[in-house]
Structure 1
C-alpha cells in the first residue's frame, strides 16, 4: 500500500522521466488494487481473530480512503455523472456532420480484413489510421473507392499514418514538429455542406524505458499543436493515439492552451488500450474538437486484432453553440510551462 501511495504522489512532480510519468496512467487500477489489499488485510485480521481498531488498521483504512479520493478527483470528470464538456446535438443536420474513426492498427497486426470489415460496417467519413507501414497502406487501397482522398505517410517504425476521407481534402501537410521520424498529418477538409474544417492526426512517441526516453518530446508535440490551433478560425478536430491518458497534466494543459473540448468528459473513459487485457486499459486514443461542434455519438468499436480499440465519433458543425460550450481556462503559468517543454524538446532533438 505504501508503494501505491508513493507512486501516486510522484504525479505532483513535473519530472518527465518515464518512470514518474508512468504513474499518470493506472489511476483506476491503483484504486482497485488498494481496495483489494484493504479487503484482504481486514479479512485476514478477522480470520485470525485479531482485534480491529489497531493503529495499523487505521493506517490501512486511511491510506485506502486517501488513494480513492486522490485518484477519484482526477478520474471523476470522465465519468457519466460529471458535467459534459461537449454538448449533445439536438437538431440533426447530416450535411454539417462528420464521422471520424481513429484507429491504431498495430504495425504487426495481420488481421487486415477484420479491420477493413469494421470500417465498412461503421462507414465513417474520415479515417485516421496509425502505425501504418507499407503492408497496411497496401491493405487500405481496397477502401479507395469509398475514400478517394488520402494523405499517406507509411513508415516501418510504428509511427506511420494515413488520413483517408470521402470528403475532398482541400490542402494537407505531413509535419515533423519535434522528432524527425514522428509525423503528424494536418489537413483541411470540405464537408458535405461545403464548409471547411481542419483535421489533425497525431501519434507522438511515449515516454518509455526501452529508449530511456522521457515525456518531453511527446508533451512538446502536443503543446506545439495546442499553440498553433489556439487562434485557428476554422472548426478543428484533433485525433490520434496520444500515448497519454485523458486525466494527465499534459492533456489538461493541451486543452487549456488549445481551447479545444474533450467529448469524453461527462460521457465515460472509452478505454482504447489494451484491447486484450481488461485489467490493463487506459484512454490513450483521443479525439478533441473546437467549440464549433456538438456530439451526436461517440463509441469504442470492436476489437480488430490490434492492441488498441478503434474510436468512432460523430460530430455536427453548430458554431452557434460555441458560447454554450466554454473551454478550459488557461493562465500565464500554463503558457510558460508549455514554452519550457517545447524549448527542452527542441534542444534535445538538436543534440540527438
Structure 2
C-alpha cells in the first residue's frame, strides 16, 4: 500500500470551461407555479447558477479545503482519497467518518476540528479523535472502480485496510446515508476492531429479522413502514433510476453543469432542515463547493453505482444475527424516514439514542456542533 500527501489543484482551463458552459445554458421553462412540487425550482436554480458564474470563488474554497491534511492510499487497483487529522489530546481515539450521496468529504470539513481538537472548541481534550474521512470510491478524488462489484460491503473492507495501514487496530465508525451503510458493514464484518458505531441515519437496506418466530410489529414500527412506503412513492424516483439505469442519467449530468446542479440542489433542499429556504441550513458556498467537486472530477455517474451495487448485498438479518459493537444514534428532526428504536434494536446493540432539536440529512454540514457533541458523548465510555 502506498500513502501519499494530496493537494487539490483544479486547472485554470477546467474552471474556464465550467464558466463557458454556464454562460451557454439552454434553460428549460416549466409551468410558472410549480415551485418545488415537480423537482428543482427554476427560480432558485437560476439564482444559484448566477452566483456560480459571477460570485462563487472556487480558488478560495480550494484553499480552504487544502488546509485539511489530505492523502491518497493505493489499495490494489483502488485509490482512496482521505483526510487524516490527528487529534490534540492525551489519548485520541481513531474514528473513521463516512459521507453519503449527493455529498462528499466536504460534508465533514466543519466537524473535523471539533472532533480532533475539542479543547479549542469548548470541549474536553480527553474526547479528542484521530479523524479519518475517506472519499467513497467513485466520489471526488477517489478513483472510479473499473469493474462491477464495489458496494458498501466492499467499501467497508477498503476502510478496514486503510485503518490498518494508518496503524489503527481498533477504531470507531460514524456516518449517515451511505456512510451509515459502510459503517454498519464495518461493524458487522470486523466486530473485534470496531469499538463503537455511531449513526445519524439507518441504512436504507437494513431489514431486521421478521416473521412468525419474531416479536410482532409494534404500532410505531407499522407506522414507520407506512411512512417509508409513502416517502418512496413521492420522493424515491432518484433512487430507482440510480439503482437500475444510472448510466443514461449520468451522460446528461456529466455534460451539463446546470443539469448536475439541478439534480443535487433538489436533494439538499428537500433533505435539509431549511424550512423551504435552503440557505437557512446550508450556504451556497458549501453547496457549490460540493457540486463543483462532482463537476471537476466527473464523478456524478460513478457516484450512482453504490445504489446499484448495494442491491446485490442488502443488509438483511436472519434470526440470531446481530451487529455486536455498541450503537449510538443521533436522530435529527428533518431526516428522511427513521425507524423507531425498537426496529433498530431487533439487530443492533443500541446503547444511546438522542433526538436533536434541529437538523436534517446532512447533519455534519448543518449541525456540526450538535453532532460532534453527540459523537463525543457516545464514545466517551468506550475509550
TM-score (norm 2): 0.28
Greater percentage in strand: 1
Greater percentage in helix: 2
